Amino acid sequence: MHIEIQPGVRLFVDIEGLGHVPDGRALREKPTLVLIHGGPGFDHTAFRPFFSRLADLCQVVYFDQRGHGRSSPRPLGECRLDTLADDVVRLCDALGIVKPIVLGQSFGGFVAQRYLARHPAHPAKVILSSTSHHFGLERKVHHFGRLGGPAAAQATRDFWERPGPDTWGAYEQHCRHLYNTRPKDPNAGGWMQFNPDILFEHTRTELPGMDLRPGLAAVQCPVLVMAGEEDPVTPPEDAEEIVAAVPAPWRAGFERFPGVGHGAWRDDPDAAERVLRAFLTAA
């Protein structure tokens, strides 16, 4: 379905699981888990089918961010972190969601960190998964080179310094298969709707000067940080620095997954499920 969050701005939304379930003589309200996908330029389908595992605990809300995937097209310059962070609140208002649990994966973690900075009292909990707080180019070059050799290191530097169709082609060839340690679902590529222009725009404009750590001082809810030890694009060193920037009372956990790349549920779904279930059900 499509939900209008502002005049002319319609987000594609899919919801899995009941929000209220019978519990004796009452209906018990389950928490709502809002998933912010990665990218930029990608869509929500990277969360499927894994997050169906959690529909018994939460009502799961998938959506394509403004201008992405199946949502209505928008000007490239509109897809800024502040706007996308505010869209999380707009979407919750439109759906009547109060105190969501918000998970941001990769670029979605950038959005979730801005959401925490701009709306610290809004979420009940936040999960920052396989994400970063800054550009971190040299770390990317190092880790892609470690996993894929000189060609991967050079393709990494070329793309992130000069984003565009030509450098993306080499990056796709030499680097994209290094994101994860397990082969991808061969069907999943057909689910995804990808707009590379959004990726190029963000990489040229907001990413080079980005530092999201100062905004984390505003955090007012438990924050779980998840990182794969073999993630070359948002390396675990970045996650360590995010954890350090979250005020100590709200550091709910830092989970490092050995043998795992970008998105723990892709490479070790059982371990990821255990960690997420523990956090989702914690008081």
Average pLDDT of 4-14? 97
Q: What pLDDT does 185 receive?
A: 81
Nearest to 1 by CA among 19, 217, 10, 277: 10
| Strand-pair category, 26-29 with 125-129 | unpaired
Mean pLDDT of 197-204: 97
CA distance 6 to 219: 26
Three-class secondary structure of residue 258 per DSSP: coil
CA 249 → CA 48, 221, 223, 255, 282, distances in Å?
32, 9, 10, 17, 15
Cβ-based neighbours of 249, under 8 Å, separated by 6 or more: none
CA-to-CA dists, residue 52 to 35, 60, 137, 170, angstroms: 12, 8, 34, 34
For residue 164, how many other CB atoms are within 10 A of its CB?
Answer: 14
Q: Tell me, what's the pLDDT at 119?
A: 98
State the pLDDT at residue 181. Answer: 97
Segment 253-268 shows an average pLDDT of 98
pLDDT of residue 10: 98
* Residue 14 · residue 45 · CB < 8 Å: no
Pairing outcome for strands 20-23 and 26-29: antiparallel
Q: Write out the two tokens for 7.
A: 């005049």
Rounded mean pLDDT, 159-168: 97
Judge residue 116's burial from the number of C-beta atoms within 10 Å of its C-beta, 0-12 exposed, 13-18 middle, 19 or more buried. Answer: buried
**pLDDT of amino acid 190:** 82
Q: How long, in residues, is the chain?
A: 283
pLDDT score for 188 = 75
Phi then psi for 7, rounded to 5 degrees?
-55, 120
Would you kindly state where each structural domain of the chain is located, as residue ranges? 2-134+197-281
Q: What are the tens digits of pLDDT across the range 26-50?
A: 999 999 999 999 999 999 999 999 9
Q: Which residue, among 54, 47, 31, has the nearest Cα to 100 in the 3D structure?
A: 31
Contact between residue 159 and residue 169 where contact means Cβ atoms under 8 Å apart: no
Q: Is the dihedral of CA 105, 253, 265, 140 positive or negative?
A: positive
pLDDT score recorded for residue 264: 98
Q: CA torsion, points 164, 143, 111, 14, in degrees to nearest 10?
A: 80
> What's the rounded Cα separation, in Å, for the pair 11 and 69?
9
Find the mean pLDDT for residues 9-16.
98
pTM for this predicted structure:
0.97
CATH architecture of 2-134+197-281: 3-Layer(aba) Sandwich (3.40)
pLDDT of residue 189: 72
